[in-house]
Structure 1
Amino acid sequence: MNAHDWCASALHEERIAQALWDLADPTPTRVRTILNDLGYVDERIHDLRQSGATTRFLLDLRDKGGRLCLEGSAAGENTVVDKCVAPATGPFTPGERKQ
């Protein structure tokens, strides 16, 4: 992950987490709507699925050769959004999370 991706990840993580924290019933439809309202297009939202009271998703944020992606779980106050790494080119497939 390059320096641009590393820096941008923190901004995206915080912005998305704040928007999802107050979501009482985080269904896939409601999570997609919030992500869309934040400016993330459907083509960048992947693997949106519900497991119990949590909705998980991946977000492809690759830009200009970057490898940034985000892995999220929307669960009200237990919402977590964290960076991951995707291939710089080709189809979106998330790799290991980078701390």
Structure 2
Amino acid sequence: MHEERITRAVWELADPTPEKVGKVLNDLGYVDGRIHGLRQSGAATTFALDLRDKGGRLCLDGSVDGERTMVTACVAPRTGPFAVAK
């Protein structure tokens, strides 16, 4: 699953800056156009991944702070601009 492979890959980052997390995501095959909201929020770097394909609504919401890593599945609108459904 996407969540597990991303969690394993970013877990090793001692200082998970947006640049480092973005590089890890790119190295895993996620293109910049699918990575959204990559930014520093306090001690954590947060991001969302648009994984919508063929009418699907899958996305991931992630947070990495060097001690805890959380990557969870979420839903996005089927069509139109990317946004995590609240």
Alignment TM-score, normalising by the size of structure 2 = 0.96
Q: Which residue of 2 aligns with 1:3?
A: none
Aligned residues: 86
Q: Name segments (4+ residues, structure 1) moved above 6 Å.
A: none
CA distance in 1, matches of 2:24, 2:43: 17
Asked if structure 2 preserves the Cα contact closer than 8 Å seen for 1:62 and 1:88, the reply is yes
Deviations 1:30-59 (A, max 9, x none): 000000000000000001110222100000
1:75 to 65, 72, 79: 65
2:8 to 12, 15, 18: 18
CA distance in 1, matches of 2:71, 2:5: 10
3-state DSSP of counterpart to 1:14:
helix
Cα displacement (A) at 1:75: 1.7
3-state DSSP of counterpart to 1:62:
coil
If each structure's helix is expressed as a fraction of its own residues, which one has the higher value? Answer: 1
Look up the equivalent residue of 1:12 and give its one-letter code: H
Q: Which residue of 1 aligns with 2:43?
A: 53
1:84 to 69, 74, 80: 74
Look up the equivalent residue of 1:95 and give its one-letter code: A
Q: CA RMSD in A?
A: 0.8
Identity within the alignment, %: 69
CA distance in 1, matches of 2:44, 2:78: 29
